[in-house]
Every structure is written in C-alpha cells, then in structure tokens.
Structure 1
Amino acid sequence: MATSKVIENPESRFSAVLLAAAKLPGVRIHREAYLRKALARYCSEDQIREAIEESPATAGIPIEVLDKAANDSISYETAKVSALSAAAGIPGIIALPATVPADVAQYFGHMLRIAQKLAYLYSWPDLFSDDGDDLDDATMGVLTLFFGVMFGTQSANAAVGKVAGMMSKQVAKKLPQKALTQGVIYPMVKKVAGYLGVQMTKQTFARTVSKAIPVVGAVVAGGLTFATYLPMAKRLKKHLSSLELTKPTHRFVDVEVVDIDESFVTEHTEQHDVDRTAKELGNPQSS
C-alpha cells in the first residue's frame, strides 16, 4: 500500500498517533507505584499490598473508595493537560506547524495516562510490559477500545465489557490475546480505530483554529481541552467501574483467556456497524 494511502486511512492514522503518544516521556504508568500512591489516603497497608499483588477488587476495597481515587486522578490529569494545552497556544499562528502536532501528541499522551490509571484502579492487569518500548497487539487493542469508550462509542462499550467478562469468568490475570488480535473482538477494535482516526482529524482542526490568535488562543485552547478531556475521562471511569472485574470473589491466576463465541461480533457488527455509519459516528452517544 502506498504511503499516502496509509496516511489517509483513519485507522492507520489513529494507530500511528497512539504508538507515538505511548513513547512520550512520562506517559506510561507504573502500576505498583501508582496504586500505592493513589490508595494511600484511603486504604490500609495490607489492602494496598493485596491490591498490587492481585487487584483492588480482590483486596476488598469498596467501589466508593476506588471512585474517590479515580476522581483524584481525573482532576490531576485534567488540570495538567489543560495547562499544557494553553501553553502550546501562546505562540500563535506563526508557530502552528510546530505546536499543533505537539499538542495533539501530549493530549493523547494524557488520555493514555488516565486510561491506565483508571484501568488499574478498577482491577485490570498491567497493560505495559517491562521489556521493550513497543506496545503488543493486545494492549493496542484494549487501549483503542478504552479510547472508544472515552469518545462515547457504544460498540467500544460492548467490546470492553466482553473483554472484562472473559477475564473475570476465567479468573485471568492477562489480557485475552487471541480475542483482541485475531478473534471475535478484533473486528470491533479495527472499526473503533477507524472512527477514532476520523474524530482525531476533527479535533486537530479545532485546535488549529483555537491557536490562530496569540494569548486569546491560549485561553481557548486550554478551555477546549478541559471541556473535552474531563467528560471523556469520566465516561471511561463510569464504564470501567460498572464491569465484572470490580466484583471478583476469587484470586486471579496467570492463564490464557480462551476466545468467546462468534455471535458477539455478528450481533454487534450488524446492530452497530461502528455505530452504523461514519456520519452517525460524528455524533457519539455518551455512556
């Protein structure tokens, strides 16, 4: 495939930005260190230790406590990304070629940060391996679905729910590699990635317009980021907190998750078709 066609492909465009954002300094969250810090105000040392070794749900940490810790992290990340976006808007139109790509990258980087934090609080396993900089395909898939939830796509909600259900049912401590990379969840990952590529283009255009006037652009850019990032983070929090992974009564083990039946893809592909059309996807539903 020609390079120009790859660049024009929304799915490829989103995947490229996600990979680039994941390589930015400070984007990857160390699960153990984060859980220890996030839960320190609310939990005993024994609870924190079990949350790290197993999961917050297995440690018996109430969902209300996890919600408080999640709100703390959302507030922190929202304030940080809004301030950085405002700073990127100060140079004005002369510096647009440099500031807009950097702003988009750091915005997606902060989306990755909050997605990891919320995932770890609500009992998802470590999403990044310690042996290398590249994302594996399963992690790429689940992060794409998390972003889809943040953007309000119902197909992403359904897919994330299925992944969580598979892990909870089979007492698994790892992501379902097969389902996310070649099995029944994979078609939904690809379609959500395509939708996100379209939305990313729209947001890039909005940020370019907001930065056209110095100083005023900084205020508008920071406000635009706040107005979009905060509800998206809350949307992901709401969905993850409602899943079966937050309610286990058993310990997880390191096993490979078996794929689920094909009826899931058939049902959701026919019913939604990535929320039916690209035009309709331009008006995602809130979850």
Structure 2
Amino acid sequence: MTQSNEIENSNSTFSQILNAAARLPGVRIERETYLRKALRKHCTPAQIRMAIDESPAAAGIPIAIILEAANTSISYETSKVTGVSALAGLPGGIAMIGTVPADMAQYVGHMLRIAQKLAYIYSWPDLFDEREEVDEATESILTLFVGVMLGVQIAQGGVTKAAAMMAAQVVKKLPQQALTKGIIYPVVKKVAGILGVQMTKKLFASGVAKAIPLIGAVLSGGLTLSTFLPMAKKLQKHLAGLELAKPSVAAKDDPAT
C-alpha cells in the first residue's frame, strides 16, 4: 500500500467513527436549549436571547460567567462518562454503528458532546442541522476539536484559523469553503489521518482499550476522570483564548477582565 493510500484510508477510518458517533442517541446538543440552561442563573432574559441569536460574546457576557458555565459542562459530562453510558447501549444506536466498534463510537460520542457545549459557550455557531448525515464543514471542525482534545498540535492551528475567519467576517456559520476545500482543509485531512492511523493500527490490533495512547482503561467499563477531564480542559483552554470568545462588552465588575 502506498503512503497516499494509507493516509486516505486512515482519513476514511476516522470519518466513519466520527459519523457513527454523531448518529448515536443523545450525542447532538441543541444549541439554544444548552445556552438557555447554561446562562439562566447568571444572565438576564435579554442577554440570553442575544447570546442565542448572536453569541455569548456578542451579548457581552462576562468571562467569569462563561468560565463557570464551561466548567459546569465539563463536570457534568465527566460525571456521565465515568458511569455506565447508555449512548451506545440502545438497540437503535448499535444498529447505526455498523462496522465501527461500539465502544469507540461511544467514546467519540462523549467527546463530541463536550466539544459542542464548549463551542457554543465560547461563541461558535450551531454545528448541526436536522439532517441525519453530518455535513462536510461540521465534520471538519469536529475533527479539529477532537484533534485538540487528543493533543494533535496542528489541530489547534486549524481551529484558530476557522475562529479568526468567523470573527473577522462577523458571520454566524462555519467557514464552509475553508473547511471543505480551502486553506484549512489540508490541516483537517492531516489531523484525520493522524487520528485514523492511531485507531486503525491500535484499535483493531490491540483492542479498544489501546486505541488511543492516552487511554489506558478499558472503555467498555466506562471512561475515567483521569482521561476525559484533561482532554476537555485542553479544548476549553484553547477555545477560551480565541478572539471569537472575547466579550464585545466587558462587564465592569467582572474579576476576570
């Protein structure tokens, strides 16, 4: 097999896993519902409405409140994955996975849940529509988010470029062209290839527990605090530092500003 074929196959492997995970029950997060729940204790109805219609940054929500919401979401999702998950346990879920191992789809599904929540609280647009299939731009940005969580350095640059393009153009959607054919796409392909190689070489040869070097526990027994929490924090830290996340109007009494 040539190197180009190996890269293409590894890209396809990760794409299959990501798409299988995205179809599992409970994986997709409804942006409006999440933001309303995350901000309701600290923000006025007008702020929440603007956060939903525009973004938390455009609504001028203080950094301290955003950080608290992010930490709450991370704690909640970490608590869920350390217990027995039902995401891949439903008959419909298993049926949709197909040839992707259930444990791996479930694991990536948990990663996609926290990635969406962190993206929304840090002012990214809605990532999913009502279609069952994941569109190309969403698949690309989720690939980069997973790459950041798993320590793939070049993924950070891809996320930063996408955020900068949206911040500069004041748009409410992902930069479709850049993520699917333009300047960010080569980064996406490389990240997907890296993740796919890890999963292809280690998942099927050594079992699910060794699929990703950072994971040492048996996934079917539940993800542990020591693996999920650091990865979520890694993505949270990166998203928090982007221009897209900076409040348009800083609250005077915000101790973090």
TM-score, normalised by the number of residues in structure 1: 0.72
C-alpha distance after superposition, 1:94-133 (max 9, x if no partner): xxxxxx9222111111111101000000000000112x11
Q: Measured at CA, do residues 203 and 245 of structure 1 come closer, stay the same or move farther in structure 2, by a change above 3 Å?
A: farther
Residue type matched to 1:82 in 2?
T
Report the Cα distance in structure 1 between the residues aligned to 2:210 and 2:148, rounded to whole angstroms.
26
SS of match in other structure, 2:101: helix
Report the Cα distance in structure 1 between the residues aligned to 2:13 and 2:173, rounded to whole angstroms.
27
Report the Cα distance in structure 2 between the residues aligned to 1:219 and 1:155, rounded to whole angstroms.
26
**RMSD, matched Cα:** 2.9
Q: Quick check: which has more Rg, 1 or 2?
A: 1
2:14 and 2:195 in contact (8 A); partners too? yes
C-alpha distance after superposition, 1:49-78 (max 9, x if no partner): 111111001111111111111111111111
Residue 8 (structure 1) shift: 8.8
Aligned match of 1:198: 197
Residue 7 (structure 1) shift: 11
SS of match in other structure, 1:84: coil
Identity of aligned residues (%): 63
Q: Measured at CA, do residues 102 and 27 of structure 1 come closer, stay the same or move farther in structure 2, by a change above 3 Å?
A: same
Aligned match of 2:232: 233
Aligned match of 1:176: 175
2:125 and 2:172 in contact (8 A); partners too? yes
Residue 218 (structure 1) shift: 7.1
Residue type matched to 2:10 in 1?
P
2:163 and 2:243 in contact (8 A); partners too? yes
Report the Cα distance in structure 2 between the residues aligned to 1:40 and 1:174, rounded to whole angstroms.
24
Residue type matched to 2:81 in 1?
V
Aligned match of 2:46: 46
Aligned match of 1:246: 245
Report the Cα distance in structure 2 between the residues aligned to 1:172 and 1:219, rounded to whole angstroms.
39
Residue type matched to 1:160 in 2?
V
Report the Cα distance in structure 2 between the residues aligned to 1:8 and 1:136, rounded to whole angstroms.
19
Q: Measured at CA, do residues 206 and 85 of structure 1 come closer, stay the same or move farther in structure 2, by a change above 3 Å?
A: farther
2:59 and 2:247 in contact (8 A); partners too? no
Aligned match of 1:74: 74
Aligned match of 2:133: 134
C-alpha distance after superposition, 1:212-234 (max 9, x if no partner): xxxxx879944x54322111111
Q: Measured at CA, do residues 44 and 225 of structure 1 come closer, stay the same or move farther in structure 2, by a change above 3 Å?
A: same
Aligned match of 1:12: 12
Q: Measured at CA, do residues 129 and 245 of structure 1 come closer, stay the same or move farther in structure 2, by a change above 3 Å?
A: same
Residue 209 (structure 1) shift: 7.2
Aligned match of 2:96: none
Aligned match of 1:158: 157
Q: Measured at CA, do residues 141 and 8 of structure 1 come closer, stay the same or move farther in structure 2, by a change above 3 Å?
A: closer
C-alpha distance after superposition, 1:216-275 (max 9, x if no partner): x879944x543221111110000001101112639xxxxxxxxxxxxxxxxxxxxxxxxx
SS of match in other structure, 1:108: helix
Residue type matched to 1:169 in 2?
A
Report the Cα distance in structure 2 between the residues aligned to 1:57 and 1:199, rounded to whole angstroms.
36
Q: Runs of 4 or more off by more than 6 Å in structure 1?
A: 5-8, 217-220
Aligned match of 2:143: 144
Aligned match of 1:22: 22
Residue 208 (structure 1) shift: 4.3
Runs (5+) with no aligned partner, structure 2: 89-99, 212-216, 250-257
1:85 and 1:103 in contact (8 A); partners too? no
Runs (5+) with no aligned partner, structure 1: 89-99, 211-216, 251-287
